[in-house]
Structure 1
Amino acid sequence: MIKSIAILILMVFCFNGNAQVTEPIDDLRLGFGINITAEYQVKHGLKFRVAATGGVANYVPLAKNNFGVLPAVHIGVLFYNKGILGSNLNKDYYRSTFFDFFANATVTPGFTNNTTTSELEYRFVPLYHFSDFVANPLQNTFDYSFSIGSNWLMNPDKNRASQTVGFFNLNIARRVQISYYNDGGPVLDYFGDREDRFYTGGLVLSAHFNETAYIGLVELSFHKFTGWQQYAVDTADKLQLDHIPYNNGDAFGFNQQQWKLNATSFRQGYSAYITLYDFNAFDLQDFLHFNSDFPYHPDYYWGWRIAGGVSSLFKTE
């Protein structure tokens, strides 16, 4: 166990790189990114996640660089162990490591497209396409923009199923971004499968700083992940129950919610964060469900817990 922990920590601190183009960027953008994360949860020990994403985007000018559209596609994978969002917390669950495979398509209309290295090198602004727990290798080159699209997810777990999650982003002056994903709900009803399961919803608020600052990115995020049992949501809704009655413990074991505050130094290729899991008083999705008279997902399998983590970032664009 000690040897495994040492190897993981060594990977996090040694797998560090940051490569960016030194010439004016083309309309066609290619990127690849890997994030390796080590997280320590109080009372539950060391956790890890590896996120890898490849992205392709192509800028289509509609009014030269004053206005245009940036369609993009991404494919990626997440690999993580028990305790990380998306895992099953049941101690008797048949597996302790988990995979997510995803493909994404988004379209981003925007104003004032920055096209030269001199315009972009002083501030890296990620082109979000899902959330902050995946690698985001491409850059949003617009001063002002919004993005909308879908993520298609697959998982080999026998208690999981394929899923479609909608995504929306608002970029303001390349200084602030608001990103939102949901399998339904406001704005995204037609971009998700509306099944209220697995990656059911999340929000990322991000602030972006110049590369001359040690910290280039600060993110505050909320995430909700839930299991699924056939007819449970519909039954709870029809019977006007407060929460969803899971009969299958393996489904209930997936339920988690998470708040995370993350700071990234692109200059150093590292990020560090503190996170709070399953503190029900701060569950944003439960609050929304309560106020819309819709059953909520209980998520107290391990109880609330605090964790901290570090990530090593590699991206090439």
Structure 2
Amino acid sequence: MRVEINPPDLDSEYLRCLNACFPGWGDRQMAQWAFRRELAPDPMPDLMVLREENELLAGSAVSYRSIVLPNGSRVRAGIMTGSWTLPAARGRGCFARIIERSVAITRERGGALLLAFVTEDNPSCRQLLKAGATPVPTSYLFTDLDDSRPEDQAAPGLVILKDAELSEAVALWAKGHEGKCRFAYSSLEDWKGQFIDRPGSVETVRNASGAFAVIDRNPTTDRILAWWAPSQTSALQLLNELRAAALSKGRKLFTFSTDAAIAAQCEAMGFKRKPGYLTVMVTDWERLGRALETTALREPDHHALLNPASPWFAGEWDIQSGDRM
């Protein structure tokens, strides 16, 4: 098997294989947004494939994003995105090779971390943990159409957020993420480019308490890409209103969280939870050490990132669904 990085004329073949492995993943417009979008000052994404005698076996993208650490320092991270292995090639170590090459190319591109978002039952999760990645627990939360509650029948008090209100809303959203590991957005335009100016039907709504959410309206599911609320009570009210709005249109509701307390509240409200992980691997200990302002010797494994007693502790992560891709 050989690994090819950014071979010419790959896009159509890559998208065909990705949709073969994950039916309905997306069209050419979605692929352009995910894999060919410039996120300055970070590099363009890299596409890699594994071939054997000119036959495609597997592929993955590495997208590059800036991460803000709790101390305010920034590091570059590579994110494994759109990874696939064709059925005939499974069980041959393809994904292990992809992980190994993703670590190397992230380091070459000036990255200190390699991230991946996986559900707990995904075979990719087992391979990432086997490779030494440290797992940050996450939750995939969703409602079903047959799980409606009396409060879902109430008319939702949601209105479209006006363009003039967006700047203040995003500032509140950003302030709520301070003190944790998070993706960096240097301007309102950067934030809009990630959460709003994307393929699909995206709306930004707010309720009477001032809480707001960015919703990607799919034919069967409303996906909460980002949200903010001024209090826990307001957050629960917002989630109930979003669920009622989705149900009124015959759609499910989906959100993602790295916050265990939010996940528990959603479960108490009737959301179903699928456990997952944000897996984190250090690709350059020296770069990360400078950002963490530590002179300690590098740790023997990546799990030090989650150990509050370690000088390599990176802090808690605060990631929402639309942050991920």
Q: TM-score range by the shorter chain?
A: under 0.3
Question: What TM-score comes out, normalization by structure 2 length?
Answer: 0.27
Question: What TM-score comes out, normalization by structure 1 length?
Answer: 0.28
- Larger helix share, 1 or 2: 2
- Larger relative contact order (Cα-Cα within 8 Å, sequence gap ≥ 6): 2
- Larger strand share, 1 or 2: 1
